[in-house]
Copies of this chain bind each other. A is one copy, B any other.
Amino acid sequence: MLEIKPSRQKPKQQTEPLPPAVPPAGLTIAEASRRTGVSVHTLRYYERAGLVVTVVDRTPGGRRRYHQQDLDWILMCTKLRATGMPIKTVHRYAQLVAAGHGNEEERLALMEDHRAEVAARLDELRQNLKLIDHKIDVYRGRLAAGEAEQLWAPEGRAKAG
C-alpha cells in the first residue's frame, strides 16, 4: 500500500522551537545543562562515572565544550536512566559502544535484558494504575453520595480505605 504523505513543501523554515544548532565552537557546560535538562553537577558526574562515550571537547584552558554528539549521547543516557537502568549498566553499555563494532551480541543482550525489565514494570504499573483508579472511583462515589444526602451514611463499618 502506497500512501502519499502530505510532504512539507518548503522545509526551509520550521516554526517549531527546535533548539538552535550547536555552534562549531561548542557549548559551555551551562548551555549543555540547559539543553539536556541535566544539572552541571550531574553532567560532570556522568562523565566521571564513565557514562559519556563521547570525549567531550575542552578549551585550551580546560573548560568543557559540548558538541551535538555529546548532547545526543547524554540524552540517550537520560532515557536509559529514566527507564530505570542503573548507572553501572549504562556504564557497561557505554564501554561496549566505546569498544566499537564487533560486540553487538553483548549490546543486544544488554538491551534485551533491559527491555524485558522495562516491559515487566510497564505491566506492573498499568496494573497498579487500575488500583489507583479504583480508589479514585470509590472516593468520588463517597463524595457524591455525601454531598447529595449529608446524613445518610452509605456504609456502616466498611473496610478501611
A residues sitting closer than 8 Å to B (CB atoms) are 53-54, 69, 72-73, 76, 79-80, 82-83, 97-98, 101, 104-105, 107-108, 111-112, 114-115, 118-119, 121-122, 124-126, 128-129, 131-133, 135-136, 139-140, 142-143, 146, 153, 155, 159-161
Q: Within the complex, which residue of B54, B122, B132 is in contact with A129, where a contact is CB–CB below 8 Å? A: B122
Pick the contact of A76 from B80, B83, B139, B161 — CB < 8 Å? Answer: B161
Residues of B within 8 A of A53 (CB): 160
Among the listed B69, B119, B128, B153, which residue makes an inter-chain contact with A83, where contact means beta carbons less than 8 Å apart?
Answer: B128
Please state if A133 and B115 are interface contacts (CB–CB under 8 Å): yes
On whether A136 and B115 interact (CB within 8 A), knowing A53-B160, A73-B160, A101-B142, the answer reads: yes
A121 to chain B: which residues have CB within 8 Å? 125
A149 to B80, CA, bound (A): 32
A155 to chain B: closest residue by CB: B101
A105 to B136, Cβ gap below 8 A? no
13 more contacts with CB within 8 A, not counting A101-B153, A118-B128, A118-B129, are: A69-B159, A69-B160, A73-B160, A76-B161, A83-B132, A97-B160, A105-B143, A108-B136, A108-B140, A115-B132, A119-B129, A122-B126, A122-B129
